[in-house]
Amino acid sequence: GEALPYSVHLSDLRLISERKKGGGTNEDTTFWKVSGHRFKHFLQSCGKATLFAKECRLELAQKQTQVKEVVKGLISKWEAQEKQAEFWGAASFTPEEEAPMDPSLFMVAYRGVKARICIKNAINLPGGSWFDKLDPYAIVRFRGSAQELRTSVLKDAGGEPFWDCEGTLTYGGEAALEVAVFDYDRWSSDGLVAEGEVSVNQFFQGFEGTVKLEPAGGGRKSKWKRAKQMAIIIS
């Protein structure tokens, strides 16, 4: 058949096209998916990379202008509906804002609700030695509650354990969530390494962050040169 005037060859891809007779634009366009680095190489090879980037920026600017116009139109329509509703005494289209939650209301309203807890990790835990590293595990519970969430014991994890343990605890209106890290000992009672807490003022709207850990038994903080922390998520 008659050869078409335009031909692009990219490795295993071949694109053939022709200009529509009469100078008009083509109504139908057929294309194939090409990897980004091959297309970039093609543009550089034919010296069209700068022109292509310019056209892309122009197209992006046009799309942004179109989106802005649509958004303005929607805002104008909403404002008109609000004014009409106000004139006729009808209900507003804007939903009423809920009263902000405060800790004291939360402690009553969320009694009996299951809280999802995720104990991620701890850093700079004290104790242990080169020959006898910590075997840490963590326990969290709402203050005064018998229910607890316990992580697994990480053998020889030392001062940087990563548990990534998830579970649930039933909230009973407590004022704080207590966290504690222990060192497992097979032959004697486990030793408390550090402890801390998250107050209801911190978690009543959800919590995702670190909990500062203090020495076990309220020991002197001055002997801890680096901050001890545990990452935890409450939702």
Per residue, the 3-state secondary structure of the chain, as one string, reads CCCCCEEEEECCEEEEECCCCCCCCCCCCCCCCCCHHHHHHHHHHCCCHHHHHHHHHHHHHHHHHHHHHHHHHHHHHHHHHHHHHHHHCCCCCCCCCCCCCCHHHHHHHCCCCEEEEEEEEEECCCCCCCCCCCCEEEEEEECCCCCCEECCCCCCCCCCCEEEEEEEEECCCCCEEEEEEEECCCCCCCEEEEEEEEEHHHHCCCEEEEEECEEHHHCCHHHCCCCCEEEEEEC
What would the two tokens of residue 190 be? 């486990």
Instruction: Give the pLDDT band (50/70/90) at residue 148.
Output: very high
What distance in Å separates the CA atoms of residue 121 and residue 162, rounded to the nearest whole number?
Answer: 4
- Residue type present at position 83: K
Per-residue model confidence as pLDDT tens digits over 35-76: 777 778 888 888 888 888 888 878 888 888 888 888 888 988
The predicted-structure confidence for 2-26, as pLDDT tens digits, reads as follows 555 656 555 555 555 666 666 665 5
Q: Could you tell me the pLDDT band of residue 222, with boundaries at 50, 70 and 90?
A: very low
Is the sign of the CA dihedral 155, 120, 124, 178 positive or negative? negative
Q: Give residues with Cβ within 8 angstroms of 197, minimum separation 6.
A: 143, 176, 177, 178, 179, 211
Average pLDDT of the residues in 213-233: 66
> What mean pLDDT, rounded, does the chain reach?
80
The tokens describing 31, both together, are 């294309």
Distance CA 46, CA 139 (A): 65
pTM for the structure as a whole = 0.56
Spatial CA neighbour of 84 closest among 96, 76, 72, 74: 76
